[in-house]
Amino acid sequence: MPSTPKIIRSKRKTIALVIQPNGELLIRAPKRATRKQIDAMLKQHANWITKKQAKAKAAQIDFSPRQFVGGEEFPFLGEDYSLKIVKAKKPVLALSGDFQLSEASLGKAESIFERWYKGEARAIFTERVEFYAQKYDFDYAKIKLSSARTRWGSCSSKGNLNLTWRLVMAPMKIVDYVIVHELSHLREHNHSKTFWAQVEAILPDYKSRRKWLKGNGRRFHFP
Ligand SMILES: [Zn+2]
């Protein structure tokens, strides 16, 4: 905990601790609150403060925009690969040990990366959906790529599976979880016990995968 948190005094009646988006602690206190009272409050909520600050810091890293500079890391199937700007004009972007982006295409880096991710997403999702559909006898209509930022997948009443291409940044175990989840919605259009039992029958460790996605999904933002 920083030794000198910012204190703002006002006409309020109680002391409030606020963790700002950058992780800094702000204390709102009544005009007459003593340093001792404030310190007691800090001590009492020390764990809460540490947790919130860590969360805020993590979130901050998560949302720093991609800059497409050499050494910057980009995720793919759960691994981080660093970006290397190369002289060769073709291919514009390739993954071989690291992401190699043609210097001539730097100005269009964002759309080039997006196109690359989408291509991989389509191929990988198709393969995984087919695998689970055949093995567990699911009858789906089409796979559609969405560009959703927080919704990883959905299943339409027509039997279409919508999966965001951003999911291809996550580990395969997580891709599989989202796919099995959406396939299971073909039979159960809700999150009932029956639904989760079905998911569990296919992926006995689905709970840890789901938890992982909840905690780490924000890392897979783009741009
Ligand atoms: Zn669902």
How confident is the model at residue 5, as a pLDDT? 83
The crossing angle, in degrees rounded to 10, of helices 193-202 and 206-216 is 100
How confident is the model at residue 71, as a pLDDT? 93
Among 171, 136, 178, 174, CA closest to 155: 178
Question: Ligand 1 centre from 163 Cα, in Å?
Answer: 12
For 63, 141, 169, 218, the CA distances from 100, given in Å and listed in that order, are 23, 36, 17, 24
**Could you tell me the fold of the domain covering 113-219?**
Zincin-like (3.30.2010)
Q: Enumerate the β-bridge partners of residue 73.
A: 82
How confident is the model at residue 76, as a pLDDT? 97
Question: Ligand 1 centre from 21 Cα, in Å?
Answer: 30
For CA atoms 128, 100, 219, 50, give the dihedral sign: positive
Phi/psi of residue 162, nearest 5 degrees: -105, 125
Which of the 8 DSSP states describes residue 223? -
How confident is the model at residue 23, as a pLDDT? 84
Instruction: Indicate the Cα dihedral angle 72, 77, 78, 80, nearest 10°.
Output: -20
Question: Ligand 1 centre from 148 Cα, in Å?
Answer: 15
Question: Ligand 1 centre from 159 Cα, in Å?
Answer: 14
34 HSE (CA, 13 A, CB side) = 3
How confident is the model at residue 149, as a pLDDT? 87
pLDDT digit string (tens) for the chain, length 223 residues: 445 788 999 999 999 999 987 788 999 999 999 999 999 999 999 999 999 988 887 776 666 789 999 999 999 999 999 999 999 999 999 999 999 999 999 999 999 999 999 999 999 999 999 999 999 999 999 999 999 988 999 999 999 999 999 999 999 999 999 999 999 999 999 999 999 999 999 999 999 999 999 988 888 888 8
33 HSE (CA, 13 A, CB side) = 21
Domain ranges across the chain: 6-62, 73-106, 113-219
Output the pTM of the full model: 0.75
Question: Ligand 1 centre from 181 Cα, in Å?
Answer: 6
Among 156, 144, 159, 206, CA closest to 181: 206
How confident is the model at residue 1, as a pLDDT? 47
How confident is the model at residue 55, as a pLDDT? 84
Judge whether 194 and 188 are in contact, CB under 8 Å. Answer: yes
Question: Ligand 1 centre from 183 Cα, in Å?
Answer: 9
The Cα–Cα gap between 149 and 20 comes to: 24
